Amino acid sequence: MDANEAQSRMQEIQRIMERATLFTLLPGAPAVIGGLMVLAGCGVSYAMFRSLDFADILHLSVNGQIAFCVMWFLIGLIGVLLEVLFTTRAAARQQLVPADRPMRVAAFSLTPSVVVAMVLTVKFLLPVDSMVGDTIGRFHFNIGREPKAEEIQYIVPVWMMLYGTGVYTAGLFSIRPPRILGLVFLGMGVVALLCFPQYGLVFAALSFGLLHILFGFYVLHKQRQTVV
Amino acid sequence: MNGPVKPDDIDAVIHERVRLSMVAALAVSPQLGFNELKSMLGLTDGNLSAHARTLEEAGYIVVDKSFRGRRPYTAMRLTAKGRRAFEHYLATLRQIVDRAERAPDGSS
């Protein structure tokens, strides 16, 4: 065996071990808890504006709109923190370092999609138009425009599609279930955007809620079968 | 392992690519199910079974067959002997690469 073949084999071994490591660290419990929090959030949202349409946030008072946004921000933040906590604990049990390449690859795969979704959410929610001013690097903000109901309706489908894209990409470095989860999110997001944008709350509950719960239970079931 | 790499240092059981992949995956998992391993490595049932048998005969893995409800469930895990063989194989690879890097003309 020459040095090139030895090098190639070492890279192949590393790739396989990373893939297997990601499998053992797939977060099941945080997916279930996150899904339950989303369902609760959908329930509270419905109680706030008595509608399945996210655009009806426009009918809330300013304080109501702020409370609505803070609630969903906290749900997202707690979901991420739970994921980090559970993954770190699982990694410690497996005597792995969470900041190792597999975890970084998964995090980096998901981050760009989430950042784009956040930027679009801000753009849809805030009545802000920006354009490059006369001076390079300075921006002029036109606060006068009103937020549009149809743009707010895009928030849930956009999150579903971009989250699905991120999960699918992260799944490329792991096993099949995360890739399938990503594709289902993507497909549901397309349907929500093109056919039912006015039912954002239903799609949020079905995807980020129910789908996460089902995925979490599936992962927990598989890991119970796998771990001695 | 400081001397030159001899043909005997390459473990023929692990050297085969599919078996090497199986051992590498099992090295970082307490246990993997037949279907998980098959999906992870993109193998067919027959291919995985044949290579699992070879590894089992060498004493490198243990294959546990049981039932989950009414469905048969096959799981594999690496034995201590298998882990030692894998670590020895990795050390051999590293030695070959290190030697090539130290060689003035880059040859191994």
Enter the pTM of the model.
0.69
Q: Is 60 exceeded by the pLDDT of residue B41?
A: yes
Residues in chain A: 228
Residues of A in contact with B74 (CB under 8 A): none
Instruction: Name the domain count of chain B.
Output: 1
On whether residue B4 sits in a domain, the answer given is no
Query: Tell me, what's the pLDDT at A41?
Result: 96
Q: Is 50 exceeded by the pLDDT of residue A141?
A: no
Q: Is 90 exceeded by the pLDDT of residue A19?
A: no
Q: pLDDT per residue over A183-221, tens digit each?
A: 999 999 999 999 999 999 999 999 999 999 999 998 887
What mean pLDDT comes out for the span A86-110? 71
Which is more confident, A131 or A166?
A: A166
CATH of the domain at B84: 1.10.10.10
CA dihedral A75, A79, A80, A81 (to 10 degrees): 100
Q: How confident is the model at residue B46 (pLDDT cuts 50, 70, 90)?
A: very high
Considering only CA atoms, give the Rg of chain B: 16
Q: How confident is the model at residue B23 (pLDDT cuts 50, 70, 90)?
A: very high
Q: Which of A43-52, A53-62, A180-189 has the lowest mean pLDDT?
A: A53-62
Query: Tell me, what's the pLDDT at A172?
Result: 78
On whether residue B103 sits in a domain, the answer given is no
Q: Which range has highest mean pLDDT (A90-99, A140-149, B28-37)? A: B28-37
Q: Is 60 exceeded by the pLDDT of residue B16?
A: yes
Sign of CA dihedral A23, A26, A32, A37: negative
Nearest-Cα residue of chain A relative to residue B100 = A3
SS3 per-residue string spanning B19-86: HHHHHHHHHCCCCEEHHHHHHHHCCCHHHHHHHHHHHHHCCCEEEEEEEECCEEEEEEEECHHHHHHH
What mean pLDDT comes out for the span B69-77? 85
Cβ contact, residue pair B41, A9, below 8 Å: no
Q: Is 70 exceeded by the pLDDT of residue B104?
A: no
Question: How close does chain A come to B66, measured CA to CA in Å?
Answer: 11
| Nearest residue, CB atoms, A228 vs list B21, B41, B77 | B77
On whether residue B1 sits in a domain, the answer given is no
DSSP bridge partners of B66: B73
B18 in contact with A, Cβ within 8 Å: no
Q: Where are the domains of chain A?
A: 25-226
Q: Is 90 exceeded by the pLDDT of residue A54?
A: no
Residues of B in contact with A23 (CB under 8 A): 29, 32, 36, 40
Full residue range of the structural domain in which residue B70 is found: 9-95
Predicted complex ipTM = 0.82
Question: How close does chain B come to A98, measured CA to CA in Å?
Answer: 14
Q: Is 70 exceeded by the pLDDT of residue B99?
A: yes
Nearest-Cα residue of chain A relative to residue B107 = A3
B80 in contact with A, Cβ within 8 Å: no
DSSP bridge partners of B35: none
On whether residue B107 sits in a domain, the answer given is no
B35 in contact with A, Cβ within 8 Å: no
Cβ contact, residue pair A227, B21, below 8 Å: no
Chain A contacts in chain B segment 46-65 (CB below 8 A)? none
Cβ contact, residue pair A13, B94, below 8 Å: no
| Nearest residue, CB atoms, A20 vs list B28, B94, B99 | B28
Q: How confident is the model at residue B105 (pLDDT cuts 50, 70, 90)?
A: low
Distance CA A156, CA B31 (A): 39
B94 in contact with A, Cβ within 8 Å: yes
Structure tokens at B32: 């993997």
On whether residue B3 sits in a domain, the answer given is no
Cβ contact, residue pair B36, A12, below 8 Å: no
On whether residue B101 sits in a domain, the answer given is no
Cβ contact, residue pair B93, A6, below 8 Å: yes
What mean pLDDT comes out for the span A64-90? 88
What mean pLDDT comes out for the span A70-96? 83
DSSP A173-206: TS-HHHHHHHHHHHHHHHHHHHT-GGGHHHHHII
Question: How close does chain B come to A228, measured CA to CA in Å?
Answer: 7
Q: What DSSP designation does B101 have?
A: H
Cβ contact, residue pair B97, A19, below 8 Å: no
